[in-house]
Amino acid sequence: AQKVTQAQTEISVVEKEDVTLDCVYETRDTTYYLFWYKQPPSGELVFLIRRNSFDEQNEISGRYSWNFQKSTSSFNFTITASQVVDSAVYFCALRRSQGNLIFGKGTKLSVKP
Amino acid sequence: DAGVIQSPRHEVTEMGQEVTLRCKPISGHNSLFWYRQTMMRGLELLIYFNNNVPIDDSGMPEDRFSAKMPNASFSTLKIQPSEPRDSAVYFCASSLDTRSGNTIYFGEGSWLTVV
């Protein structure tokens, strides 16, 4: 069975705090991809990152970083020095070979000034 | 570059009416997906096409829902008759193909309210 779990339903931080969004996945496939999407209050789904199952290198993009650990089936997302514009719902998703995206329930992040 | 284009962005309709949602995928993308987002169920796949052929429609709720892709640049999702429980955001998305390494890009969604 394929499953993505985002245990944190809502997180609230004050601007400039660092925040980590957790994502745990389940799959029996050896080849798969993991994704993060952002859904701001305006409602669209914005692609943030893609990571394949054979690449466990961490990735940094500006204030965003991702930590992929196959041993714990986790793909966590950290925002450093959070800003109000980071307020959104963030979705972690799994895509297996020849398949669609399976989403977690999302984590709503509120960054207060 | 144009992204996935959906119409209408917002629709309010009365129960029993037919609703048609439209989607234009990114040019050159061969896979097209319809997702539905609700508070209760989150984001769930309804159906996806590859090269205009439906591959998996197991997520289509019931016979009231139908989807077509007559050509590579257009798809529709139809609900007939609509019911209040169909109120949701419907996203269309596309990717180069069905391989897992290809990113799925989403449209802005069609916000449907059935009263």
Q: Look at B109 and A32 and tell me if their CB atoms are within 8 Å.
A: no
Q: What is the dihedral of CA B61, B63, B68, B74, to 10 degrees?
A: -50
Residue B1 has pLDDT above 70, yes or no: no
Q: Look at B98 and A91 and tell me if their CB atoms are within 8 Å.
A: no
pLDDT tens-digit profile of B18-49? 999 999 999 999 999 999 999 999 999 999 99
- Are A90 and A67 within 8 A, CB to CB? no
pLDDT for position B38: 95
CA distance B78 to A101: 22
CA distance B61 to A83: 39
Residue A105: C-alpha distances to residues A7, B4, B68 (Å) = 8, 23, 28
The closest alpha carbon to A25, from A79, A105, A92, belongs to A92
- Angstroms from A95 CA to nearest CA on chain B: 5
Intervals of chain A under pLDDT 50: none
pLDDT for position B100: 72
At B92, which amino acid appears?
C
- Angstroms from B90 CA to nearest CA on chain A: 11
Residues of B with Cβ-Cβ distance to A103 under 8 angstroms:
42-44
Residues of A with Cβ-Cβ distance to B48 under 8 angstroms:
100
Mean pLDDT of B87-108: 91
pLDDT tens-digit profile of A5-35? 999 999 999 999 999 999 999 999 888 999 9
Residues of A with Cβ-Cβ distance to B112 under 8 angstroms:
none
Residue B105 has pLDDT above 90, yes or no: yes
Give the residue from chain A lying closest to B89, CA to CA: A43
Q: Look at B104 and A98 and tell me if their CB atoms are within 8 Å.
A: no
User: Chains A and B: how many Cβ contacts under 8 Å?
Assistant: 54
Residues of A with Cβ-Cβ distance to B34 under 8 angstroms:
none
What is the three-class DSSP state of B40? coil
C-alpha atoms less than 13 angstroms from C-alpha of A59 in its C-beta half-sphere: 16
Instruction: Tell me which residue has tokens 């204030």.
Output: A63
Length of chain B: 115
The pair of three-digit structure tokens given for residue B108, joined into one six-digit string = 């802005």
The pair of three-digit structure tokens given for residue B78, joined into one six-digit string = 């139809």
Name residue A101's beta-bridge partners: A95
pLDDT band at residue B2 using 50, 70 and 90 as cut-offs: confident
Residues whose CB is less than 8 angstroms from the CB of residue A106 and which lie 6 or more positions away in sequence, other chains included: A6, A39, A89, A90, A91, B42, B43
pLDDT tens-digit profile of B3-22? 999 999 999 999 999 999 99
pLDDT tens-digit profile of B63-75? 999 999 999 999 9
pLDDT for position A94: 94
